[in-house]
Amino acid sequence: MSGIKRLLHDYKQLSKFKLSSLVVLTASAGFVAASGEHIDHAKLGWTCLGTLGAAACANTLNQVYEVANDRLMNRTCNRPLPAGRLGRMHALAFAAVCGASGLWILNEKANGLTAGLGAANILLYAAIYTPLKQMTIANTWVGAVVGAIPPLMGWASAAGELDAGSAVLAAALFFWQMPHFLALAWMCKADYTAGGFRMLSMVDATGRRTALAALRHSLYIAPIGLLAVLAGFASEPFAWEAAALSACLVYGSVQFARAPSQASARKLFKGSLLYLPLLLAALGLHRLPNQHNVDWDTLSGRVLDLVPAEARLQLGRACAVLEGAAAQVSDRLVENNIKCPSKAYGDSEELHAPRSGQQQGQEQQLQAPSAEEEEQQQPSRAAR
């Protein structure tokens, strides 16, 4: 391989080009979903290019931070930095160029909100998620937040704002990432352990915790299609297609939970790879011109309308019971003169604070009996 081709290949690896392309795909889905009668294809192209630059920057910074860890893992040891083909300063320069150009494009060709979301995602991925990977298994959930932001960027670029509908797409990406990455973490358990990363699979000898977490989030994503219809940017067939796709994801998660193994995890992982592009393709096929007339109250009202009247009545009664219990607890606290810790601490400081000479003199005067009281007490003393 020639020098130029080798360098381009290394840049492709630094940017994690396949992952960055997936990020661009989700951002474009957000743009299309937020568009009205006509899609501004030029603006969409600029948004995709800017998002690609931001994603490449974040992925490169991630590898700069994890050089030592990547060197210990079979799946990452041949990347440009651990293999020694590029230096840290070279990679940092590449990240700076990608990030600066990407954010500039988003700010100039889209809007400041889109650029701000891109900058926030670079920071969240490189400065928070990346260090957390070596500290806590909760890093997977933080990483899912990172993956949920690109569709918000596309939505913000098309609409200039974020509304209730944008949260539907963000939720879809958040929940999808959990079975996807949990299956990957189980497949690469030994590699992650060697690299010093903290994953749920490392504290799960049987694999059931990992599989059940994947199953829960596969169930959470089931109503996404219906929510998109209620939010007004997709037609009814999308709800059925999304439900069918989520059923396939749930099936893979159930199989993984019943018999956790490399094979069942790999099937779930491959199924998740098919799920996302099929979901986004169905959304593109059944999208409706977005009028942006559905706010949070409207969306929540439409969701409640789907709940049977009896169930809503029981829910209202349960809420009333909870409110009554909370009021009783509050009344008892007031009756017993129970103070909050900060107030009690303040009173304790007042009681134990050193007194001044003037305060001590006043206390002695209050405690000492007056002359009249002394005279009244003398006869009683004599009688005794």
CA nearest neighbour of 224 among 161, 148, 156, 310: 148
List C-alpha distances in Å: 378 to 23, 27, 243, 263, 374. Answer: 95, 95, 96, 100, 6
How high is the pLDDT of residue 11?
95
How high is the pLDDT of residue 366?
47
Give the predicted TM-score (pTM) of the model. Answer: 0.80
List C-alpha distances in Å: 302 to 54, 164, 293, 299, 307. Answer: 36, 12, 13, 5, 9
Return d(Cα 240, Cα 247) in angstroms, integer. Answer: 10
Token duo for residue 369: 């009996």
CATH code for the domain defined by 163-305:
1.20.120
Return d(Cα 72, Cα 214) in angstroms, integer. Answer: 27
How high is the pLDDT of residue 343?
47
Which residue type occupies 42? A
Do residues 82 and 76 lie in contact, with contact meaning Cβ atoms separated by under 8 Å? yes
Do residues 213 and 199 lie in contact, with contact meaning Cβ atoms separated by under 8 Å? no
> 8-159 with 163-305: one CATH topology?
no
Return d(Cα 212, Cα 71) in angstroms, integer. Answer: 31
Q: Where are the domains of the chain?
A: 8-159, 163-305
> Check: CATH 1.10.357.140 for 8-159?
yes
Return d(Cα 369, Cα 382) in angstroms, integer. Answer: 18
CA nearest neighbour of 52 among 16, 92, 8, 88: 16
In the predicted model, residues of the chain with pLDDT beneath 50 are 338, 340-352, 366, 379, 381-384
